[in-house]
Chains A and B, each alone.
Chain A
Amino acid sequence: NAGVTQTPKFQVLKTGQSMTLQCAQDMNHEYMSWYRQDPGMGLRLIHYSVGAGITDQGEVPNGYNVSRSTTEDFPLRLLSAAPSQTSVYFCASSYSYRDTYEQYFGPGTRLTVT
């Protein structure tokens, strides 16, 4: 199993540009989530999904969209990038939302918005 994969690893955007961060898992996990990590702030939940076709907002959803058309994929879209979105983005998945299971994290995408 590849586990949780994220692409790209690094990205530089100009203010106002849009892009999609890709996340995929091959473990047939129900639960997937996106976090951003900023210095001194730990990880903050952006959006999460408990299954295909179901998404919900986390702590800091503004400026981001997600969709979950398949169990495997959970892309994160930045609609109009802003410097405040400069961060490291982590995707994670776990077996089910019906109980708490360990989350498996991807390697992260380091995004810089200029």
Chain B
Amino acid sequence: SQQGEEDPQALSIQEGENATMNCSYKTSINNLQWYRQNSGRGLVHLILIRSNEREKHSGRLRVTLDTSKKSSSLLITASRAADTASYFCATDPRDDKIIFGKGTRLHILP
């Protein structure tokens, strides 16, 4: 079974609103990453948060990590049409493997 699970599976919001998606994982990790995938394309790295960090920002992205709950959240503020994509969390459960979740499909409505 997959290490990470994103929630919700799909999310539709109005342009300008904030989008929040969550990732839960099962085993201890070194780091957690978030990736974006536009339709039909390869994944693009967004942000990496290490297990000793609680929050990280990059532009309109804010990521939190709670290792006690084995969960992370990705917040996209002031959403734009270009943010329409699938978002994946990826974890490294301490054995050189990087495991992805099933993703959240985000749709920004005009």
Contact = CB atoms under 8 A, between A and B. Distances in A.
Contacts of B96: 31, 48, 50, 56, 97
A31 B97 CA distance: 10
Interface of B: 2, 30-31, 33, 35, 40-45, 48, 50, 88, 90, 92, 96-103
A43 B42 CA distance: 11
B50 to A, nearest CB: 8
Contacts of A41: 102
Contacts of B48: 100-102
Interface of A: 4, 31, 33, 35, 40-45, 48, 50, 56, 58-59, 90, 92, 94, 97, 99-108
Contact of B100 (A40, A43, A50): A43
B100 A35 contact: yes
Given A40-B102, A43-B88, A103 B97 contact: no
B98 A100 contact: yes
Nearest to B30: A100
Contacts of A94: 98
A47 B91 CA distance: 16
Given A58-B97, A108-B42, A100 B102 contact: no
B39 to A, nearest CB: 12
Indicate the member of A43, A58, A92, A103 with the most B CB atoms within 10 Å.
A43
24 contacts: A40-B102, A42-B100, A42-B101, A42-B102, A44-B100, A45-B97, A45-B99, A48-B96, A48-B97, A56-B96, A59-B97, A90-B42, A99-B31, A100-B30, A100-B33, A100-B48, A100-B50, A100-B92, A103-B33, A103-B45, A105-B43, A105-B44, A107-B42, A108-B42
